[in-house]
A and B are shown apart, each in its own frame.
Chain A
């Protein structure tokens, strides 16, 4: 035991010595341990790690990019691409908002640049081709030239019967017809789509004029009985519309009767195919002519100067020797007025210098006279849209035929009133109203008629007839409806909707018994008593007119047994 005591003392001293000697190292070690823990914590906490690396990452990337640009691009591209795709998918709206200010400008710039290049290319190619042709002393092949330079071309043309959607004629520049969809079905579907758009967008008489699909435009030119659909690749200019309108007009003029009487036989329209085919080839000619005209203008400038001088001299002569312009205007106005007032005539006049364009209709004799008068007055007249009106008897026969076809009984009729034609009469519903007018327009081929057909309302008819054939009776000296009269009136009102009454005259009547002034007041009070019931039933007061009538002793009471009454005149 004793031996152990010094050992214990020595051990304690040694520890004390160690503590003294190693204190600094211990402290350093503890500090290092603390720092190590801190570093681990920093690595484990992403935010803190980013905070730590942030100041150096940008420098590092910059350094790496500077050292090896390609390598960095290759390394980052897939990641960047994925990141962009993800971001676009997840936040389309945000991306769109962010890019919007830039995209608009970019697109405008790009389009402007493309258009500029396109126009430049067209001009250069026109110049090259025309110069080559002049050089060879050969007639310019306009079609080839246009095919070369124009930025669009017609791929197919359909002539489609408007009502049935059946294909009347078709031309295509498709080299492989088997690859194209069946043209009969296309024309049917096209018509269906047009009808759909009319119904879906309540377009009424308006219809679809253009359908765009990718690079293809389907441009529709509508005629009275048929419409043309042009499948065009690229974007046609404004002149194209005029050209196709002209073609439609010519087809209608040439095939008017066949189109009108079409029942499914397309034989008569056979020759149109050739026209449409040549049209596909020649459609650009007018535009070409415009381009060429510009060139000829430049090359023939001296000739134009000479012509200009001659025109100026003629203008001076006209100015001094021609009748006064105002008087001429007045003369024109008088001529037009006198014809516009004629029965069946309805037309408008557009004046541009000396040229008049008439649109509308008139009977053949009036039309001929008017055109002659205008031409004699020195005007150049365009009367293509000024159509001949068949005689009134012919038109009335047409109306009868329409009535028969639609089973309208009583038949509708036609009124020529102050230079306008009205269809009048009653039809069972709105559909019949539209259909009757359409059928009449188709059969008469008139460009303009007024549809005055009314939709019949049997309940209204009953109410009006009952009002016009009944009276309400009062006891002597009284303006109070007795219970029987009130009951009769209520029965009357229950026959239809009072709102359907367009105009109602309530006539309060009295006999000559007593003083005339009092009788007049009594008659008015009777009328008012009945008026109150109509107002209570919802009839608009503006539609009611009150009248009074005092029957003299000798005067018969008319269709009703008593003079002490209220009777009606309803419309």
Chain B
């Protein structure tokens, strides 16, 4: 039985750890040079839910920019969802989440989203970045995970939550 295929985007500022999260999670990956050459790199992961068909995620790792709005919106077209990543140790990347989401939503109004506050291993439990991230996620009413590409914390959970959202839209 062929899987359900879904395109998702990984978005966020430069250096927040998107590519590291993918490396932690995916099965197949293209050379990183694609990311610097054309600004996007496609990876793949199959998820097998307890019920129903497998889901084949085609993950578009879109090169991050420090200024939202500079990523080509063409890359967002046709995405069923997105994981929006920030760096918990960098407040600016958390503040930019809203702009990144706005740009993505302009193309995909119905797409599912999850937030990933990455580099959780670098910040303590009371770090202002962690608190700001939780507050931002709640205000956006989106599922969120504090992840670490270094030790794997919540990486799979974050992707799996997104894939569930894609096959069971609320």
Contacts and interface: CB of A to CB of B under 8 A. Distances in A.
Nearest to B74: A195
A265 B54 CA distance: 10
Interface in A405-420: 405-407
Contact of A192 (B3, B5, B75): B75
A198 interface: yes
Interface in A73-102: none
Nearest to A265: B4
**Interface extent on B, as a size class?**
35 or more
Nearest to B79: A164
Contacts of A406: 109
Interface stretch (A11-19, A27-35, A180-188, A252-260): A180-188
A189 B5 contact: no
A75 to B, nearest CB: 46
A429 to B, nearest CB: 8
B18 interface: no
Given A184-B56, A196-B40, A189 B7 contact: no
A185 B44 contact: yes
Contact of B77 (A163, A167, A270): A163
- The secondary-structure label for the interface of chain A is helix
Contacts of B41: 189, 192
Nearest to A168: B5
Given A189-B30, A199-B72, A432-B106, A161 B42 contact: no
Interface in B83-118: 106-107, 109-110
A267 B109 contact: no
Contact of B4 (A182, A264, A405): A264
Contacts of A266: 2-3, 5
A199 B42 CA distance: 18
A63 interface: no
B78 A164 contact: yes
A344 interface: no
A431 interface: yes
Contacts of B80: 164, 263-264
Given A164-B78, A166-B5, A185 B107 contact: no
A405 B42 contact: no
B7 A195 contact: no
Nearest to B58: A188
A335 interface: no
A407 B43 CA distance: 32
A192 B78 contact: no
A435 interface: yes
A508 interface: no
A171 to B, nearest CB: 15
Given A165-B58, A264-B5, A195 B75 contact: yes
A196 B38 CA distance: 6
Interface in B34-90: 34, 38-44, 53, 55-56, 58, 60, 72-75, 77-80
Contacts of B165: none
A188 B53 CA distance: 21
A193 interface: yes
Interface in A182-234: 182, 184-185, 188-189, 192-193, 195-196, 198-199
B6 A264 contact: yes
A435 B78 contact: no
A19 to B, nearest CB: 91
Contacts of A193: 38
A182 B75 contact: no
A267 B74 CA distance: 27
A188 B7 contact: yes
B166 to A, nearest CB: 8
B151 interface: no
A192 B35 CA distance: 10
A184 B40 contact: no
Nearest to A200: B38
Contacts of B6: 166, 264
B109 A163 contact: no
B107 A192 contact: no
A338 B3 CA distance: 51
21 contacts: A164-B5, A164-B78, A165-B42, A165-B58, A166-B78, A182-B44, A184-B5, A185-B43, A185-B44, A189-B34, A192-B40, A192-B75, A195-B74, A195-B77, A264-B4, A264-B55, A265-B5, A265-B53, A267-B1, A270-B2, A405-B110
Interface of B: 1-7, 28, 30, 34, 38-44, 53, 55-56, 58, 60, 72-75, 77-80, 106-107, 109-110, 166
Interface of A: 161, 163-167, 182, 184-185, 188-189, 192-193, 195-196, 198-199, 263-267, 270, 405-407, 431-432, 435
